[in-house]
Chain A
Amino acid sequence: MEPSIHLAPRAEDNGYAVMVAQLLRQGLDERPEKKATVAKMHGRVTLVVTDLGLTVSLVFDGGRVTVHDGFAGIPDVTVRAPAEWHTKMSLVELEPRFGLPDPRGPVAKEVFEASKRGEIQMHGMWASLPLVFRMTKVLSVA
């Protein structure tokens, strides 16, 4: 099934929601191999931009992705970080074989260090590791 990206009602008023939807659409167009990854994704991920007071939720339902303004149900994973780190997370390097985050990449190292300092907080990550890795893959522009 060809993945489809949708904005939920009222999400068009949230600039970050619009950006995330655009990033997903253009990222899938640019790298069609990511479409198979999106098709395998099920779950809810909420992104909280702490310094801007913005919250965006992505609901993955086997190829259909809906981007919401605010929370959309109980998230499996919540990422809380300032805007700077949300932008940087999209630059995390992926290792070429499986498309997993490459721990040797300079940006991946920066993100890891920021997580250790508590500047990036990921709730639910360990229980939903495949979702986190796939999310990183589909949102990465590196």
Chain B
Amino acid sequence: MAHSFPSEPWTAAFAEAVNANEVYRKHGAPWTYGAVAMVCSADPSMGLDEDVGMILDVEKGECRGAKLVKGMDAVMDTPFVIVAPYARWKQVIRGEIDPIKAMMEGKLKMTKGHLPTMLRFVESSRALVTSATAVPTTFLDE
């Protein structure tokens, strides 16, 4: 069943997809650096009146939980925050762009977090984000 992005059911399905991702389980096994938030910037033309974030509580190659939050204040305590407009996340979910290359191009922005740590875990970071491609998704503009 497809879920609308972003939504609570989509976020829950994303967490399941992360846990089903063997690449993430393997490369993320040493990860003990805290949760990661993926934030979709506000876009009133898409019906997103404020920033919407998905906080993934990841630890040792496992996603222990995920929640949908609204507003940047809600991700203030999250150690790693990646922000992008809706259209970019759509490309990520469709597997059209590589998240690491997208960061280099400034299409995804890490607004908070320790970049050296992220680079040490570059394969798990990529696997974490690309787990979204496994979630059957409907988009707000389709």
Contact = CB atoms under 8 A, between A and B. Distances in A.
A26 B100 contact: no
Interface string A10-28: 0001111011001100110
Contacts of A86: 104
B119 A87 contact: yes
B109 interface: yes
Interface residues of A, number: 22
B115 interface: yes
Interface in B27-85: none
Question: How big is chain B's contact interface, by range?
Answer: 10 to 19
A141 B115 CA distance: 9
Nearest to B114: A26
A127 interface: no
A52 B115 contact: no
Nearest to A31: B116
Interface in A1-55: 13-16, 18-19, 22-23, 26-27, 30, 49, 51-52, 54
Interface of A: 13-16, 18-19, 22-23, 26-27, 30, 49, 51-52, 54, 83, 86-87, 90-91, 141-142
8 contacts: A15-B107, A16-B105, A22-B115, A26-B115, A27-B116, A52-B104, A87-B119, A141-B117
